[in-house]
Amino acid sequence: MALFLKLLLGVGLFVLVLFNGMVDESVIKDDPVARMSLLGLTGAAVLIDSVWSAVATFIGRGRKASQERIRLLLLPVIREVARRHKVDITLLGASVFRVRRQFLVGKKMLERVDRYRMSDFPQQSKVNWLPGKGAIGEAWRQVAIRHVDWRPIQARWGDGKIETEADWARVPAEDRCGLTMAEFLNIVDKYAEVLAIPILKPGTTKCDGVLSLDVPIRANVGRLVLSDGDTVEKATEAATVIHNVL
């Protein structure tokens, strides 16, 4: 939207300057109505662009404040997992997604609101999160807590075992987890396990988002750390409060 407004503003200014130049050179006759129309359109574009910039700034500040509140809720959960299971806290990750509809009338998908990890690796996964994709998409589709031990899948198909469409065709549906080949390759060597908690509208079973926790494969923990009852309980409590800031 912002780019469109800037293009419109640029075109309006160009046409206005061109019109004035052609009038000055007597290429065309001056037309007060046309001149005022161009000025009006250009002025409107300037006004709309200014308003849009102000709104975008306001929304950006609101989003940053929401992310800060979300992280205050995520940190105790991650810290507790690290303490209980003696895992390097900088390797643990958490993400919060909310359900949104593409272009108002399009299909629903999960939009990442925030991602929290103290280290820079692994990078954010490139997945178009739809119902049924991975633990996150399954938690949304089933409106239920989902935990996936990704290590056996990584052992079977990671480390460069899939290079062609023929290789991909050998991967069974249960291992694909609803992912495309590109999405699968993007995450297969990243994670050891993932816990996904649906974020429910208070007092209902309506899923408005998903909270996920993950342990990267490079943590080399050798055991599951996200499936115990205490971790699930604390993550569920955090998800309940996070709904208020989505």
Residues 6+ apart with CB under 8 A from 175: 153, 156, 157
Contact 179/138 with Cβ under 8 angstroms?
no
Tell me the pLDDT tens digit for each residue of 113-136. 999 898 877 888 889 999 999 999
User: Which parts of the chain sit beneath pLDDT 50?
Assistant: 59
Q: Is 50 exposed, middle or buried (0-12, 13-18, 19+ CB in 10 A)?
A: exposed
Domain boundaries defined on the chain: 2-54, 65-245
pLDDT of residue 118: 87
Give the separation between CA 202 and CA 206, rounded to whole angstroms.
8
The distance of Cα 25 from the centroid of its chain, to the nearest Å, equals: 54
**Can you tell me which residue has the tokens 């208070």?**
202
**CATH superfamily to which 65-245 belongs:** GAF domain (3.30.450.40)
